[in-house]
Structure 1
Amino acid sequence: MSDIIFSDEESSVVVRNNEKEHRYEVSVAGQTAGHMGYRAIGDRRVLMHTVIYDAFRGRGLSSVLIKSILDFLRTHGSTVSNYCPVVDRFMRKNPEYVSLIDAKHSGTWVSP
């Protein structure tokens, strides 16, 4: 899988898959702004916790990070087990991503 999964030159936002650290990272103008930890189990990703650092809060970066990750996983045919309440809120607002939840291993996701 590719290192960069989202890049927007206009806003200088980049989302990367840091496979070595098992996390997706969002950066702004080259500075790491936050991350989401994950575990890879075959084609399934177990999403753990979203963190946006204080200096970068209030810019909508958690939504950019989560949307980029989910779009990337969808493109690669992956499913998701979710344990992150921020991802829960995002999916409830964007139900088009609910289909990515693994039916047998949903994590803490409960269908609305």
Structure 2
Amino acid sequence: MSGITHTGIRVAAVGDIEDGEALRVPAEQTGHGDAIAVFHDDGAYHALDDTCTHGRASLADGWIEAGEVECPLHSARFCLRTGAVQCMPATVAMRTHRVEVHDDEIWLYPGTGAAE
């Protein structure tokens, strides 16, 4: 987890994050206000701010399935692709971050939305 470039941060190699798992990238490494969780779901990688908008829980510790992550604290669910709230008790969407795979390496672009 080293290599910072001017546009992104190399966070892992493909295969380092098992399908259905997440990697928590500390705020100190990203330069972002919150840690960022990088999720691997059904062959795709997504990134959201790590701290649930409803409670102080790490989404990297949540359950990942069918394009969603479920918060381990109160079971709120969020869309991995858009950050949208999928069920209560959360009411505020999660911020997304762009993730790309280049040469079997996973790159995170903190502060750049997934759709940008």
The answer to whether the superposition gives a TM-score over 0.5 is no
**More relative contact order in 1 or in 2 (CA 8 Å, sep 6+)?**
2
Q: Which has the higher helix share?
A: 1
Question: Normalised by the size of structure 1, how large is the TM-score?
Answer: 0.28
Question: Normalised by the size of structure 2, how large is the TM-score?
Answer: 0.27
